[in-house]
Structure 1
Amino acid sequence: MKIWKTLLLVYRELDVRLSLARDLVGRDSVEPRTHFHHVVSERELADAIDSFRGFPQLVRELTSGKATIEYEIVRPDRALTSLTPESSSRFWPSPDDIRSDLDEFASPGKYDSIFVFWPQRNLKNGMAIPCDAWGLAMGASEWTNGATYAAIANAPSSAWTNETRGEVWLHEWLHGVCAHFAQRGHIMPERDADGGELHGYARSSTAGWTDYYRDLMSGNVLEDGRRLGIPLAAWS
């Protein structure tokens, strides 16, 4: 059984200044050179953490007990004060933006996976930092202190409940985990964690994409006559 040591860093407050092209100004983006300051509510925080606590159970279930998540939750006593451009008009909290906390709480080799929760959107007035997705992820590297890395934003309560509990955390984690196993010679299906619809799966109103994730995490996604993904034996 593989034990994945995991850290969730929770940032309740965002305090940044960003410059954006004028065509991005609107209810769903900050204005050019605007100071964006937001603190998530207790409800938003509770929704996110409750969902995260469902993530380990999903991993156990979908790997038939071959993988286990052991996690810690840390709430740094500071605001998130910088974001990294994904493009000329999209931003996210990269490892550079939390470097001091990574080095303090997640020194190289301490964790297999790191998650960041951040307040991307003010749910009361609709103002938001432009970002490509609810969650963004990458494989382990020196930049991430040797751990898979994923950032997931705050969201309305309905977003967390409109899927299997813990699913968004699982989805982003799988991007990094698929990279981990691909580097060890296991062939992943096209688009790895994003490949459900491409491979003929349908999203369930109650179970989300977990049918696809189960096959991905057991090496049973059919593609061009081959079964691809992470074999159950690889989790040992």
Structure 2
Amino acid sequence: MELLVNDYRFTMYNVFYKRILVIWITVAFCLLLGLLFSGLTGLVLFGVGIAWLVVNASVIFFSIWIKYKLSRNLERCMANVNKQLLRHKIIVALDDRGKISCHKVTLCFIYMDAGPCIAHLQGSIEHQEREANGWEQRMDISATDIVIQGSRTTRLSRKQDRCEQVFTRYLQRWGKDFLRRRLDWTFDDAGGNTSDPRHIQTAFCPCQYIEELLANKSPKTDIRDCCPWWSRLSTRLGLD
């Protein structure tokens, strides 16, 4: 718990995730009322109204992007915590259950043996690496080797630790969906999760969730690309 509460990413999520959009909507509404009662008329009022719409839309999109970054940073924070708890067969996930209020954050502890999931995930990743290019870029972790320089150069491979990193990296996302019962098996084939239990009898287990997530995730594009969207489209169409 000390590792979690002392992490700035956890604090930033608690403070800003639900509040940032609410704060801006309140400010934008107050600005709109100020414009309506400012006494402006004609083209001046029309121009100021258009400017308000543009600024409002821009800040809303910016707030959504900030919420996305806060959520991803929280996942990395929870990965560090879960890495310490896996040895005790415990998984912790954070679920924001506030509706009107913005401070109902709940820590949920799930008893689960992660060993079978990690072992299955390791075999799946090794198979996908042989079959598909760019698979390593989708995992969103550092998988490079550690090189120790000295009288003899030593290279320590991180491959044996990589699957655990992948498992913990997406564990918060799985836990949130699991707690909200989005991963439960259903009998409806259309739009539901058809029953295919692996390590959890009632829902998607983490390794199934991560496999599907990585399979549908696009590889990271080169930061030197002037238009990443066009690069992804060209790759998909076979024009690269």
TM category, shorter:
under 0.3
Q: More helix by proportion, 1 or 2?
A: 2
Give the TM-score taking structure 2 as reference length.
0.26
Give the structure, 1 or 2, with the largest relative contact order (CA under 8 Å, sep 6 or more). Answer: 1
Q: More strand by proportion, 1 or 2?
A: 1
Give the TM-score taking structure 1 as reference length.
0.26
Q: Which has the larger radius of gyration?
A: 2
